[in-house]
DNA sequence: CTGAAAGCGCTAACAG
DNA sequence: CTGTTAGCGCTTTCAG
């Protein structure tokens, strides 16, 4: 009972059965759309249930079925700031997952897990609270994730596909995304393109790889000083950009590992009196909603976030059914807006 | 069983009992910290359980206890865009709630509910999936929420406190927040302050009320043309600001109903060659993370988001225990950054 | 302090 | 097509 007052016991299947003059099995079958039940009886029971505002107790159902139709979703959080990694990309992803799970009649259990103790997420599974887990963000935790896979916890990670990977991942094609972005800048005649991102993280590393490849393909040399390390946080992105500009190294283009980084970099550029896109053309990554609405609207690499949720859910459900789904790499595309233009 | 292969039945209490040579009752008590158990036995059992990597099956526990220690969290979504309302403020709130619930050993069930069918959220409760519900965002759904309250669904809403309100709400002090923001601008000598927001929504309306009050207090007349209606979305905020500037109505200050609106307005101002804060000083509302990192850093009204989660959870749990908690209004404060300065 | 036994609300063989 | 019966894995009286 939820309420302290024992006023009105929550109605349950037995009540419906009694009132309808049938057994609980019949009620159960009627309500669950079993085929071996008289259409008329079903009508009567369904009607009655609705009129009494009855709805089935899922705890009981789940216990009986041994499956709770709940998926745990984990966005690792940083213990130091005790805060969700605040990239808006994740909110979009959460929405996409919620959609995909709702479509399949699964519930979404949101859980905070310390990024340093990613193995805690096994608890979600071990206690039966979730029949599978989706991790948004691989970060630098490849090894921890591999260990979890060995423990046979069914989970899927949003991130890059890596060598010796024992778990299933879904991510965008970072390499080709990086090439697309950088190629675009090079084709616009940009020659000194900075890369903003933390290449110790797999996803950013692959995007950087694409950056290098594009340069090679276009026969443009890469100045290693143009590699500007920064995490995915707004504050660090700004600081990094700032520090870079203070060095006076010339540049005419930027490929940032995320839209958040790109947008913050643009702010710093503006503050330095540099014009985007004329002086410095900027390409981001993600295509978050804000990308279309910042100033100037950001040219970026679109990650198919809507498909991402569905893809991850699909993989996870397959895994739960005992299959061994392949990791998936989703195609990216270049979305051209106003933050890039031909070199003057 | 989650896996299709019947390989290794998940270990359960009976197994521990057998291995420890005690009854399941004893194991249950030991694991749940009952006082009437031998300290040594408890040690032995706890040890064994840990070594076997056992964790209790929550479905069963919940069924038995008739309480599932799960709270449903609903961010109403807009059917037309099939998208979460994308204000980053909500992500922060979600984090805050996740924290507060985790602290109290509750799970967070995230659910999408069509804003037009808010009563669907009763299903979360009726099916026993959640023992209470938190709604982030009241929007214009006061009446729907009142109906739910009549149906005795335990829920708490983040939003404004309204007349004839049958449900429990937690929100920031919009009125005084509005006064704080506007008073700050007036004290800086700003005389033509625009208000950006949708006053058909209760929260924005109260902030606007504060705006009016501050003007009255300072003896500054309000030009109704400076009231610029806009929803809480980035695109609309920009369009509204744009349209306003095109009219050529002079202004030297802006109070926006949210940081997102403020930041987008600043972008448009910049594009029009107006300097923030010199030409137009801007104050936002929320103090989302990005507010500190945009250009220029945004002066804003801080909503105590960390307390907000805790406050809502407290109210909800009290309600679940049969109490009738009061709605709460949390204090706001003015956070001065660089988007405001004295009038030249 | 510990064990035996009785369910929590539901589903699924197995018989009619 | 429907009812009977036996649990899902756990907690909790009630007796020892």
Q: Is residue A149 part of a domain?
A: no
Tell me what the mean pLDDT of segment A269-273 comes to: 93
Q: How far is the CA of B106 from the C1' of D11 (A)?
A: 19
Q: Is residue A334 part of a domain?
A: no
B57 to chain A, any CB pair closer than 8 A? The answer is: yes
Tell me what the mean pLDDT of segment B85-94 comes to: 82
Residues 121-160, chain B: which have Cβ within 8 Å of A? 123, 125-129, 131-132, 152, 154
Least confident of A81-85, A170-174, A319-323, B27-31: A81-85
Distance CA A29, CA B155 (A): 32
B58 to chain A, any CB pair closer than 8 A? The answer is: yes
Distance CA B288, CA B173 (A): 17
Q: Which residue is nearest to nucleotide D3 (CA to C1')?
A: A23
pLDDT the model gives residue B324: 92
The model's pLDDT over B166-221, given as tens digits with 9 standing for 90+, comes to: 999 999 999 999 999 999 999 999 999 999 999 999 999 999 999 999 999 999 99
pLDDT the model gives residue B81: 63
Distance CA B92, CA B230 (A): 22
Residues of A in contact with B51 (CB under 8 A): none
Q: How far is the CA of B42 from the C1' of D14 (A)?
A: 22
Q: Is residue A103 part of a domain?
A: no
Tell me what the mean pLDDT of segment A138-158 comes to: 92
Q: Which of A2, A267, A290 sits opposite B67 (nearest CB)?
A: A2
List, in sequence order, the alpha helices (H) in chain B.
13-20, 24-31, 39-51, 58-65, 88-103, 122-126, 142-150, 174-187, 202-218, 234-246, 259-271, 305-320
Answer yes or no: do B98 and A110 touch at CB < 8 A: yes
pLDDT above 70: percentage of residues in chain B: 95
Cα separation of the two ends of chain B: 71
Distance CA B154, CA B160 (A): 18
Highest mean pLDDT among A328-337, B8-17, B320-329: A328-337
How many C-beta atoms lie closer than 10 Å to residue B272's C-beta? 13
Tell me what the mean pLDDT of segment B83-106 comes to: 84
The answer to whether the beta carbons of residues B161 and B170 sit under 8 Å apart is no
Find the largest Cα–Cα distance for chain A: 85
A125/chain B closest Cα distance in angstroms:
9
The answer to whether the beta carbons of residues A127 and B55 sit under 8 Å apart is yes
Q: How far is the CA of A56 from the C1' of D1 (A)?
A: 23
pLDDT the model gives residue B82: 58
Residues near chain D strand, CB within 7 A? A 21-26, 29, 36-39, 41, 60, 63-64, 66; B 10, 12-14, 24-25, 28-29, 31-32, 56-57, 60-61, 63-65
CATH number for B26: 1.10.260.40
pLDDT band at B3 (very low <50, low <70, confident <90, very high): very low
pLDDT the model gives residue B261: 95
Answer yes or no: do A4 and B84 touch at CB < 8 A: no
Burial class for B14, CB neighbours closer than 10 Å (0-12, 13-18, 19+): exposed
- Interface probe, candidates B88, B114, B128, chain A, greatest A C-beta count within 10 A: B128
Q: Is the pLDDT of residue A245 over 50?
A: yes
A–B CB contacts, 8 A cutoff, strictly below: 161
Q: Which residues pair with A169 in a beta bridge?
A: A157
Helix (H, G, I), strand (E, B) or coil at A136: strand
Residues 285-304, chain A: which have Cβ within 8 Å of B? 289-290, 292-295
A20 to chain B, any CB pair closer than 8 A? The answer is: no
Q: What is the dihedral of CA B256, A260, A305, A94, to 10 degrees?
A: -60
- Backbone region of residue B164 per phi and psi (left: phi > 0; alpha: psi in -120 to 50; beta: other values): left
Q: Is residue A260 part of a domain?
A: yes
Closest C1' nucleotide to A39's CA: D1
Question: Mean pLDDT in chain A?
Answer: 91
Q: Which of B2, B110, B123 sits opposite A108 (nearest CB)?
A: B110
The answer to whether the beta carbons of residues B260 and B87 sit under 8 Å apart is yes
The answer to whether the beta carbons of residues A295 and A267 sit under 8 Å apart is no
pLDDT the model gives residue A4: 35
A221 to chain B, any CB pair closer than 8 A? The answer is: no
Q: Is residue B69 part of a domain?
A: no
Q: Is residue A106 part of a domain?
A: no
Q: Is the pLDDT of residue B2 over 50?
A: no
Q: Is residue B261 part of a domain?
A: yes
Closest C1' nucleotide to A26's CA: D2
Q: Which of A102, A109, A293 sits opposite B234 (nearest CB)?
A: A293
CATH number for A232: 3.40.50.2300
Distance CA A67, CA B197 (A): 46
Taking the model in full, what pTM does it have? 0.88
Q: Is the pLDDT of residue A201 over 90?
A: yes
- Interface probe, candidates B66, B95, B258, chain A, greatest A C-beta count within 10 A: B95
The answer to whether the beta carbons of residues B232 and B270 sit under 8 Å apart is no
The model's pLDDT over B132-159, given as tens digits with 9 standing for 90+, comes to: 999 998 888 999 999 999 988 999 999 9
Specify the pairing of strand A132-136 against strand A155-158. Answer: parallel
| Range of the structural domain that residue B226 is part of | 174-303
Residue with the larger pLDDT of the pair A7 and B29: B29
Q: Is the pLDDT of residue B64 over 80?
A: yes
* Phi and psi, residue B114, nearest 5°: -60, 125
Q: How far is the CA of B66 from the C1' of D16 (A)?
A: 29
* E strand intervals along chain A: 70-78, 83-84, 107-114, 132-136, 155-158, 168-172, 193-196, 227-228, 253-256, 281-286, 299-302, 328-330, 333-335
Least confident of A79-93, A256-270, B137-151: A79-93
The model's pLDDT over B17-53, given as tens digits with 9 standing for 90+, comes to: 999 999 999 999 999 888 888 888 999 999 999 999 8
Q: How far is the CA of A27 from the C1' of D3 (A)?
A: 11
Residue with the larger pLDDT of the pair A57 and A216: A216
Nearest to A171 by CA among A136, A132, A126, A218: A136
**CA-based nearest residue in chain A for residue B10:** A126
pLDDT band at B7 (very low <50, low <70, confident <90, very high): very low
Q: Which residue is nearest to nucleotide C7 (CA to C1')?
A: B64
Q: Which of A63, A107, A234 sits opposite B60 (nearest CB)?
A: A63
Cα separation of the two ends of chain A: 72
The model's pLDDT over A8-53, given as tens digits with 9 standing for 90+, comes to: 568 899 999 999 999 999 999 999 888 888 888 999 999 999 998 8
Residues near chain C strand, CB within 7 A? A 10, 12-14, 24-25, 28, 31-32, 56-57, 60-61, 63-65; B 21-26, 29, 36-39, 41, 60, 63-64, 66
Q: How far is the CA of B22 from the C1' of D15 (A)?
A: 17
Answer yes or no: do A234 and B290 touch at CB < 8 A: yes
B120 to chain A, any CB pair closer than 8 A? The answer is: no
Tell the residue number behind the tokens 């609405």, with chain if given: A293
pLDDT band at A3 (very low <50, low <70, confident <90, very high): very low
Tell me what the mean pLDDT of segment A182-202 comes to: 97
Distance CA B290, CA B268 (A): 17
Distance CA B308, CA B320 (A): 18
Helices and strands (H, E) in chain B, number of each type: 12, 13
Q: Is residue A223 part of a domain?
A: yes
Return the axis-axis angle of helices B24-31 and B13-20, rounded to nearest 10°: 110
Q: Total domain count for chain A?
A: 2
pLDDT the model gives residue A335: 98
Distance CA A77, CA B244 (A): 41
pLDDT the model gives residue A212: 98
pLDDT band at A7 (very low <50, low <70, confident <90, very high): very low
């Amino acid at each position: 009972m939820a309420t302290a007052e024992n006023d009105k016991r929550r109605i349950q299947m037995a009540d419906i059965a009694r009132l309808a003059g049938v057994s609980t099995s019949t009620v159960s079958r009627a309500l669950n759309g079993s085929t071996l039940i008289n259409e008329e009886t079903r009508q009567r029971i369904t009607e009655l249930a609705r009129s009494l505002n009855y709805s089935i107790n899922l705890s009981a159902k789940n216990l009986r079925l041994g499956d709770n139709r709940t998926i745990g979703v984990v966005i690792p959080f940083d213990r130091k700031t005790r805060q969700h990694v605040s990239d808006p990309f994740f909110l979009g992803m959460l929405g996409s997952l919620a959609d995909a799970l709702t479509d399949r009649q699964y519930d979404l259990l949101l859980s905070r897990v310390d990024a340093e103790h990613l193995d805690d997420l096994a608890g979600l599974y071990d206690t039966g609270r979730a029949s599978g887990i989706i991790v948004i963000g691989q970060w630098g935790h490849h090894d921890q994730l591999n260990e979890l896979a060995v423990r046979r916890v069914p989970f899927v990670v949003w991130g890059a596909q890596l060598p010796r990977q024992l778990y299933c991942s879904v991510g965008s094609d970072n390499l080709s995304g990086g090439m697309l972005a950088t190629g675009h800048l090079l084709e616009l005649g940009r020659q000194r393109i900075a890369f903003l991102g933390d290449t110790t993280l797999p996803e950013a590393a692959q995007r950087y790889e694409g950056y290098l490849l594009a340069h090679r393909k276009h026969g443009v040399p890469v100045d290693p000083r143009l590699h500007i390390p920064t995490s995915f946080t707004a504050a660090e992105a700004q600081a990094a950009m700032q520090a870079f500009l203070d060095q006076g190294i010339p540049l005419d283009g930027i490929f940032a590992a995320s839209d958040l980084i790109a947008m913050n970099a643009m702010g710093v550029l503006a503050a330095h009196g540099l014009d985007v896109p004329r002086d410095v053309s900027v390409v981001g990554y993600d295509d978050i909603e804000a990308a279309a609405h910042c100033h100037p609207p950001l040219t970026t690499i679109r990650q198919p976030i809507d498909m991402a949720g569905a893809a991850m859910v699909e993989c996870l459900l397959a895994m739960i059914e005992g299959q061994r789904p392949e990791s998936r790499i989703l195609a990216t595309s270049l979305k051209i807006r106003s933050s890039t233009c031909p070199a003057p």
